[in-house]
Amino acid sequence: MNLSFFDQFSSPSLLGIPLILIALTFPALLLPSPDNRWVTNRLTTLQLWFINLVTKQLMTPLNNKGHKWALILTSLMIFLLLINLLGLLPYTFTPTTQLSMNLALAFPLWLATLLTGLRNQPSASLGHLLPEGTPTPLIPALILIETTSLLIRPLALGVRLTANLTAGHLLIQLISTATVALFSTMPAVSLLTLLVLFLLTILEIAVAMIQAYVFVLLLSLYLQENI
- Residue 49 CB neighbours (<10 A): 10
Q: What is the maximum alpha-carbon separation in the chain? A: 70
Please state, in angstroms and rounded to a whole number, the distance separating the CA atoms of residues 73 and 116: 15
Please report how many Cα atoms fall inside a 13 Å half-sphere around the Cα of residue 125, on the Cβ side: 17
Q: Which pLDDT score, from 0 to 100, does residue 108 have? A: 94
Q: Which pLDDT score, from 0 to 100, does residue 155 have? A: 93
pLDDT digits (tens, 9 = 90+) for 61-95: 888 888 888 889 998 998 899 889 888 888 778 88
Please state, in angstroms and rounded to a whole number, the distance separating the CA atoms of residues 28 and 166: 23
Q: Which pLDDT score, from 0 to 100, does residue 34 have? A: 64
- Of 82, 120, 70, 80, nearest to 104 by C-alpha is 80
Give, for all 227 residues of the chain, the pLDDT tens digit: 445 666 666 677 777 777 777 777 777 777 766 666 666 677 778 888 888 888 888 888 888 888 888 889 998 998 899 889 888 888 778 888 888 889 999 999 999 999 988 888 877 777 777 777 777 787 788 888 888 888 899 999 999 999 999 888 888 888 888 888 888 888 888 899 999 999 999 999 999 999 999 999 999 988 888 88
Please report how many Cα atoms fall inside a 13 Å half-sphere around the Cα of residue 76, on the Cβ side: 22
pTM score > 0.85 for this model?
A: no
CB-based contact 206:48 (threshold 8 Å): no
CB-based contact 178:193 (threshold 8 Å): yes
Q: Which pLDDT score, from 0 to 100, does residue 215 have? A: 94
CB-based contact 40:204 (threshold 8 Å): no
Cβ neighbours of residue 162 under 8 Å, at least 6 residues apart? 96, 97, 98, 99, 102
CB-based contact 103:215 (threshold 8 Å): no
Residue ranges of domains in the chain = 18-28+42-226
Q: Which pLDDT score, from 0 to 100, does residue 1 have? A: 45
Q: Which pLDDT score, from 0 to 100, does residue 8 have? A: 66
